[in-house]
Structure 1
């Protein structure tokens, strides 16, 4: 959605009747919100316009002087296969329609057909084109492993390959007008991802954020849609809703999993129809913002249990990105710790301390249920208590000692191969010690904590295992 134009690519209208082009342009913008429109009333200029302008979809009349629509359709499909074509003809002929579809047209409409059906068909073709372009962009980025705009992600501290794949995906959907669903545990940085999507979209409007958790249906409607003066008791003046405030930009709805069922109906209609009614108004307004939603909840499970509408769920997950938890990004822990300690030192007006070498190893063996937000809190707490040159590990040890990470085991599956003899207790013990030392990167103090034994006991075991 570049510069508040929808779609991001141009829609070319081709007809030898200038009056029809004007009326169709007005209908597309008024009823469909489609305003990135080019017009051509001379069929001989069509191919040059497609080559010169960023055209992604052509609405083509069949009966025209000079070059017929059928001839142009064949040329477009052959020379510009990435451009979609919809036929709009004054002839209601089934045989002609079938022939055009076989030649590569998306759809066929008759000019006298109901206007709403035509607009819906054009919007559907736009969505198909957007998905096609996104698929091509994703394929290109993953093959080359590149980012076109790495500066957009500068505030997201990571060296994780999974996060890089997320960034590549976000770049590939940046021109789409469809909603984006961001999922991930609390504290993983969903707000930063929403901000990156907003920046990538190149809109000229603001990023407007709304936490919808706990909003009842009336407050939700008033917050998003706004109201007219006199709409309800206390509405002394007209107030623009968040949708209008986000015009040309992005509307970010956080904690969407907590939205009430009546409010879900309103959001679904907004996304499907692209329009809404301010409270107290009988005149609809079109949404001019991209919608991003986020949740830490499992929407798939919620829609199966009936707590979340299936139609809304499938409408939201057209573009879905899942942010991995910090425990799956262990390589980022040291980077984030360094960043947060620097940030805390600046804020508290202290000198940044030296980080003990064993601290990142200790943190790598912690589950971080609060993810990045928890790590930041730990860094700030440690920095506030810091007095010497070396950073004390006491704050981290105190918190981490409350939760010794347990291995993920599926109790429904046997731990050992039933077709093989069981290992001895000594063999199992040696394997556990070896795994603990590997996780602790050779630090006996940390390894003993992971095993739940004292450091002298571990040292004794290690000496026994030496050849």
Structure 2
């Protein structure tokens, strides 16, 4: 019989009946559970537990010297991480309830039913494993260093929140459960997925698939494959990406866009680890690990009924939420230098310097497109620059809409400078002009020369407007 029990520490069986101990021992060994130790003296039990190495305790309830009823409260207090399964010939309800109330994990009556025993041990070891994982994770997260920093070499960061995510990924390296990665567009979800794949030590391939834009039929065909002749146009056999990811990882990007029929099939794959190709009734087993990612808000998708809650909870066994770049501004200077160096190297160009004014603007921008947007900004600036240094003009016009002539710094409009109709009457030109000047001062941290350049006016003209508006340019501004 396949037990499915995986454990690091041994099972300790305690009973004053030597023949019964031999019977339980042989039963466990015959079911491929070999790390078992027996003890026929309750007097020696606490000393044995003190030595460590016990994962699950099977203990008789009625023993001479010290009874299970006397030992259980002490064991639960001293060794709360060890599940205790009580064995006894007494089956009255009051005794059962008393055991559970005192902290017993389970209660099995004699003579022992083998299936019942194996089921209880399996559950106990799962609880034990989770407790050990939580303990190790807590100890690890309290530490300072990564065990394998090379896993995250592609993700440039010095940010503590990002480092904490790296530690979580390292801590779940031994788990092949699904992972859900969420975060805004451009934060690097696929880079994280590849890091998780490397950390897992899986020998198979990392196979990415963006499900956005694929209807249920196309996704079914791409993911699971089809039999030759399965439908019109199916002239050849198609293996499918799940098969390609056998022994490795399948990365499903933009999972929030998946259709309802595809969600059902993915749920079956997660639950049963098996699937059918289109046009075939042959069941195929899969051991591919599934990592999914999305920039969608799942609270909204679940609330609207557009994403199955059972699928979500299956996928989110491990959940990695990547912070946007605006919430880790300490990484922006590092990324600016990296992209300048990389773009210059890729195009065989001298590495340009970057002026202070340009750097201030870049470091103050909110980057709705996150790291990808910063990368594109630097790529455009370096490749189009004609001098030896990147200046403000190298970043003008980027990120704007087709019909706009404004700066790429659209965060001024999109987040801090929304022209909402919150007035009783439509705002006047004077009101809007003052708001614009205040926002430019905020964006430049009060630098009047840079503010004037942003506004497209001279420094004397700016000074005159500040006086007219009752602004000195030094007072703290809203949102600063």
Map of 1:31-180 to 2, 5 A cutoff? 39-40=35-36, 42-43=38-39, 58=56, 60=58, 77=76, 80-85=79-84, 94=93, 97-108=96-107, 112=113, 128-129=127-128, 131-141=130-140, 143-144=142-143, 146-180=145-179
Question: Would the aligned equivalents of 2:441 and 2:473 in 1 still touch at CA under 8 Å?
Answer: no
SS of the residue aligned with 1:270? helix
1:294 is displaced (CA, Å) by 0.6
Separation in 1, partners of 2:383, 2:5: 50
Answer yes or no: is 1:294 the counterpart of 2:298.
no
Is the CA contact 2:255–2:293 (under 8 Å) kept in the aligned structure 1? yes
Matched, 1:10 2:14: no
CA distance in 1, matches of 2:253, 2:125: 27
Contact 2:326 2:366 in 1 (8 A): yes
Structure whose CA Rg is larger: 2
Which structure 2 residues correspond to residues 380-391 of structure 1 after superposition, within 5 A?
380-391=379-390
Instruction: Report SS of the residue matched to 1:399.
Output: coil
2:345 & 2:316 partners in 1: Cα distance? 40
Residue 332 of structure 1, CA deviation? 1.7
Deviations 1:379-418 (A, max 9, x none): 2222222333223543312216042514548999999xxx
Shift of 1:300: 1.1
Match of residue 446, structure 1, among 442, 450, 454: 450
Match of 1:245 in 2: 245
Q: What does the per-residue CA deviation read over 1:348-402, in whole Å, with 9 as the maximum and x for residues that have no partner?
A: 1122111222222112333322211111112222222233322354331221604
With the length of structure 1 as denominator, give the TM-score of the two structures.
0.72
* Distance in structure 1 (CA, Å) of the matches to 2:450 and 2:5: 56
Higher relative contact order structure (alpha carbons within 8 Å, sequence separation ≥ 6): 1
Indicate the SS of the match to 1:340.
Answer: helix
The one-character-per-residue Cα deviations of 1:107-127 (angstroms, maximum 9, x if unpaired) are: 456764878x975x7776566
Q: CA RMSD in A?
A: 4.7
Residue number in structure 2 paired with 1:277: 275
1:88-123 per-residue CA deviation (whole Å, 9 max, x = no partner) reads 8899765564454345343456764878x975x777
Aligned to 2:19: none
Task: Report Cα offsets for 1:174-210 as digits up to 9, x if no partner.
Answer: 4444322211111110111122222333444443322
The aligned counterpart of 1:232 is 230
Q: Name the stretch that deviates more: 376-385 or 42-51.
A: 42-51
Number of residue pairs matched by the alignment: 432
Residue 28 of structure 1: aligned partner: none
Contact 1:8/1:176 (<8 A) preserved: no
CA–CA separation in structure 1 for the residues paired with 2:229 and 2:67: 51
Q: Distance in 2 between matches of 1:409 and 1:392?
A: 25
Contact 2:358 2:391 in 1 (8 A): no
Task: Give the direction of change, closer, same or farther, for the CA distance of 1:351–1:324 in structure 2 (3 Å limit).
Answer: same
Contact 1:62–1:68 (CA<8 Å) still a contact in 2? Answer: no
Deviations 1:53-86 (A, max 9, x none): 6x7x538485999999969977875664334455
Contact 1:404 1:450 in 2 (8 A): no
Report the alpha carbon displacement of residue 134 of structure 1 after superposing the two structures with TM.
4.9
**1:256 shift after superposition:** 0.8
CA distance in 1, matches of 2:458, 2:85: 74
Residue among 21, 28, 53 paired with 1:21: 28
Helix, strand or coil: the match of 1:181? strand
CA 374–204 in structure 1, closer or farther in 2 if over 3 Å, else same: same
2-side partners of 1:51 and 1:290: how far apart?
38
Asked whether the equivalents of residues 437 and 443 of structure 1 are also in contact (C-alpha less than 8 Å), the reply is yes
In the other structure, the counterpart of 2:206 is 207
**1:138–1:359: structure 2 CA closer, same or farther, 3 Å change rule?**
farther
1-structure distance, mates of 2:324, 2:354: 23
Structure 2: gaps of 5 or more residues: 14-21, 400-406, 424-429, 475-480
CA distance in 2 between counterparts of 1:89 and 1:267 reads: 45
CA distance in 2, matches of 1:358, 1:383: 16
Indicate if the aligned counterparts of 1:188 and 1:325 stay in contact, CA closer than 8 A: yes
Query: Which residue in the other structure is 1:405 paired with?
Result: 412
